[in-house]
Chain A
């Protein structure tokens, strides 16, 4: 048993990182919107799904004319990010802003709106794909160059180029986001709005514009994550966002919601936990608990962590609202 665990371990850790970075990128969208509006934007999982669908469509239509796989992926990432980001802006403009303008103080109202928007987006994509291709499960087209792979340590770790791309792109985006929030004017404005919307608007910041941009940035990150997810796991449906969305939200809470490095860390921890138990549960329990319990165990551990650290792993650096 121990030998079996050890031989698989390097592979499990690598795959856990791949999954973890997907969660981390999606978690950033949750955490940014929460940081600014204290709103849990459940429609974010559908923004992620839209990115994945755009990725599949870009590959479907442009692969014959764009020979280079990496160029094609770049196009898909840009288009997926832009379309997902614009969708996020639209969602904010038509679903959340009217509630804010009306001064709805009940926190449940925007939450329910978010859930409603999420269903609308799912069925909208289902309708469009149904009319367009009469397909429900969209398959990512295989492109030469991205599919190559190699193994390390005498075949014990199997690594695909596309997994490395996923990790690379997500690290780039995370670093870029950290820079944007901490070092640019827009970042200062976002942080100001996050700290106090009213006071920020007195200081000459247009809160609507800043909120809109926050949704654009969070949405694009979700869209890019969606494209990479589609490339990695190959099959996408209009409902593919739900579980990764819930898990990314959990990751954001685990890291300390509103906290950007926290969301990253939370995503990675959750990815590792899920992949670890997904692979090892049957081995550890002698086949009594199968892979289907991986989420149960991962979430149980999360509950335990949060019991002892309710503010999340990096929660202490979240600034209290004054």
Chain B
């Protein structure tokens, strides 16, 4: 009996020690190791920069601000395990993340159990916000707009009528490819094929299908991530297939050029929800600071993560004021996030009742022939409201 009592006392002491009154933590979750680390690191560093800048402001309010990065390895199981650790740390009042929709969807359900707010810089699958969870928000666009934006550009501007659609069988890649196909066919085009593949190295069977497809496709659309599309494009071009290629924001990494080869990658079209630094005049100064601090160029997701963190920080400040200078609860922060109206680096940020940004931007880009990712050509910017939940 005494043992049990001791245990309870110990646990209570531990709980108090863990929940320090004057520390507020912001967590990030994104892949920091593994094939998609190049994109995930941008999310971590972008949020870190915003937190560093806000430290002094929070000190004046009486709080120490800390960023705690978590590595979800682009894996839903790891993401959920981390999410459980995150909700057990009472100092964490907001999460910036994730990169992959397939990881964000189950993890956000864990955050929802305690009302912990998540602001995503990168998750584009419609289901992320269509579940109407009060704690889930994103400032980037959605695949049911991103896919159609690509389809309209292909049909109206590239005058493509026959397209070969490939996807990577994930919530992200398949969802994007389906939305692309739907709009492309609604416009009057034809999807010659719709194939999924988890293959990472040998794309020969698919390339043979493309070579044998009738009518001959004028464009290949690949819903997936650069780590898969890079080697695919290399093998495709080596076999002399010169059909144009288009993808979604999973292509938005300089790693794509390295894996595909400069000449093979050149001319590839991609749509993205996170535009390059050059698309945001206000981001220039922050990007310079980023480069100085981390020795790396700030790419799209870095800018969006910076804004996502700032959304949480603004909401935190408002919540602290509303609570009379005391540490707010997680629910209060989540409610304040939905009320935020701010001008970020990426433009106006204001959430609708699902947690989507009221007007998100979509970009059509083309890979430059120089091999330098920053030289990629911005073809057009489309600003569009998220569709209503289905």
Chain A residues proximal to chain B, CB less than 8 Å? 4, 7-8, 11-12, 15, 18-19, 130, 136-137, 139, 142, 147, 149, 158, 160, 229, 233-237, 240, 274-275, 278-279, 282-283, 287, 290-292, 294
Chain B stretch 190-216: residues in CB contact (< 8 A) with chain A: 193-202, 204-206, 208-209, 211-212, 214
What is the CB-to-nearest-CB distance from B44 to chain A, in angstroms, rounded to a whole number?
15
Task: Give the segment of B3-11, B90-98, B234-242, B312-320 that binds chain A.
Answer: B234-242
Contact B240 A149 (CB under 8 A): yes
Q: Residues of B contacting A292 with CB < 8 Å? A: 169, 195-198
Contact A233 B212 (CB under 8 A): no
Chain B residues proximal to chain A, CB less than 8 Å? 33-35, 37, 169, 193-202, 204-206, 208-209, 211-212, 214, 227, 230-231, 234-235, 238-240, 255, 258-259, 261
Contact B208 A235 (CB under 8 A): no
Contact of A279 among B205, B231, B261 (CB under 8 A): B205
Contact B240 A234 (CB under 8 A): no
Contact A287 B200 (CB under 8 A): no
A-B contact pairs, 27 of them (CB 8 A): A12-B208, A15-B204, A15-B205, A130-B33, A136-B35, A139-B259, A142-B261, A149-B238, A149-B239, A149-B240, A158-B240, A160-B238, A160-B239, A233-B231, A234-B201, A235-B201, A235-B230, A235-B231, A237-B35, A274-B205, A278-B204, A278-B205, A283-B209, A290-B196, A291-B206, A292-B196, A292-B197
Closest 5 CB pairs of A and B: A278-B205, A235-B231, A290-B195, A233-B201, A8-B212
A136 to B231, CA, bound (A): 13
A236 to B234, CA, bound (A): 13
Contact of B34 among A136, A158, A294 (CB under 8 A): A136
Contact B209 A287 (CB under 8 A): no
Contact A287 B214 (CB under 8 A): no
A160 to B238, CA, bound (A): 9
Contact A287 B205 (CB under 8 A): no
What is the CB-to-nearest-CB distance from B195 to chain A, in angstroms, rounded to a whole number?
4
Interface centre among B193, B204, B211, B238, by most A CB within 10 Å?
B204
Q: Residues of B contacting A4 with CB < 8 Å? A: 212, 214
A19 to B205, CA, bound (A): 11
Contact A279 B208 (CB under 8 A): yes
Q: Residues of B contacting A160 with CB < 8 Å? A: 238-239
Q: Residues of A contacting B193 with CB < 8 Å? A: 282, 287
Q: Residues of A contacting B33 with CB < 8 Å? A: 130, 136
What is the CB-to-nearest-CB distance from A105 to chain B, in angstroms, rounded to a whole number?
36
Q: Residues of B contacting A279 with CB < 8 Å? A: 205, 208-209, 212
Q: Residues of A contacting B200 with CB < 8 Å? A: 235, 237, 240
Contact A15 B208 (CB under 8 A): yes
Question: Given A287-B193, A290-B195, A292-B169, do A233 and B235 touch, yes or no (CB 8 Å)?
Answer: yes
What is the CB-to-nearest-CB distance from A14 to chain B, in angstroms, rounded to a whole number?
10
Contact of B227 among A11, A130, A137, A283 (CB under 8 A): A137
Q: Residues of A contacting B259 with CB < 8 Å? A: 137, 139, 235
Chain B residue nearest to A134 (CB atoms) is B37
Contact B239 A158 (CB under 8 A): yes
Q: Residues of A contacting B258 with CB < 8 Å? A: 139
Contact A240 B201 (CB under 8 A): yes
What is the CB-to-nearest-CB distance from A201 to chain B, in angstroms, rounded to a whole number?
42
Q: Residues of A contacting B197 with CB < 8 Å? A: 290-292
Q: Residues of B contacting A291 with CB < 8 Å? A: 195-197, 199, 205-206, 209
Question: Given A233-B231, A234-B234, do A290 and B201 touch, yes or no (CB 8 Å)?
Answer: no
Q: Residues of B contacting A282 with CB < 8 Å? A: 193, 195, 209
What is the CB-to-nearest-CB distance from A21 to chain B, in angstroms, rounded to a whole number?
13
Which DSSP category, helix, strand, loop or mixed, fits chain A's interface?
helix
Interface centre among B193, B197, B212, by most A CB within 10 Å?
B212
Chain A residue nearest to B34 (CB atoms) is A136
A278 to B261, CA, bound (A): 25
Contact B211 A19 (CB under 8 A): no
Chain B residue nearest to A18 (CB atoms) is B204
What is the CB-to-nearest-CB distance from B131 to chain A, in angstroms, rounded to a whole number?
27
What is the CB-to-nearest-CB distance from A158 to chain B, in angstroms, rounded to a whole number?
6
A4 to B209, CA, bound (A): 9
Q: Residues of A contacting B209 with CB < 8 Å? A: 279, 282-283, 291
Chain A residue nearest to B35 (CB atoms) is A136
Contact A233 B255 (CB under 8 A): no
A165 to B167, CA, bound (A): 32
What is the CB-to-nearest-CB distance from B200 to chain A, in angstroms, rounded to a whole number?
7
Contact B235 A234 (CB under 8 A): yes
Q: Residues of A contacting B230 with CB < 8 Å? A: 137, 139, 235
Contact of A275 among B37, B196, B204, B239 (CB under 8 A): B204
Question: Given A142-B261, A237-B35, do A290 and B194 touch, yes or no (CB 8 Å)?
Answer: yes
What is the CB-to-nearest-CB distance from B246 to chain A, in angstroms, rounded to a whole number?
19
Q: Residues of B contacting A12 with CB < 8 Å? A: 208
Q: Residues of A contacting B240 with CB < 8 Å? A: 149, 158
Contact of A19 among B169, B204, B231, B235 (CB under 8 A): B204
What is the CB-to-nearest-CB distance from B40 to chain A, in angstroms, rounded to a whole number?
11
Q: Residues of B contacting A8 with CB < 8 Å? A: 208, 211-212
Q: Residues of B contacting A229 with CB < 8 Å? A: 201
A15 to B33, CA, bound (A): 33
Q: Residues of B contacting A137 with CB < 8 Å? A: 35, 227, 230-231, 255, 259
Q: Residues of A contacting B227 with CB < 8 Å? A: 136-137
Q: Residues of B contacting A287 with CB < 8 Å? A: 193-194
Chain A residue nearest to B204 (CB atoms) is A15
Q: Residues of A contacting B255 with CB < 8 Å? A: 137
A229 to B200, CA, bound (A): 13
A128 to B40, CA, bound (A): 21
What is the CB-to-nearest-CB distance from A95 to chain B, in angstroms, rounded to a whole number?
26
Q: Residues of A contacting B37 with CB < 8 Å? A: 136
A7 to B197, CA, bound (A): 23
Q: Residues of B contacting A237 with CB < 8 Å? A: 35, 200
Contact of A294 among B205, B214, B235, B239 (CB under 8 A): B205
A25 to B306, CA, bound (A): 50
A240 to B227, CA, bound (A): 13
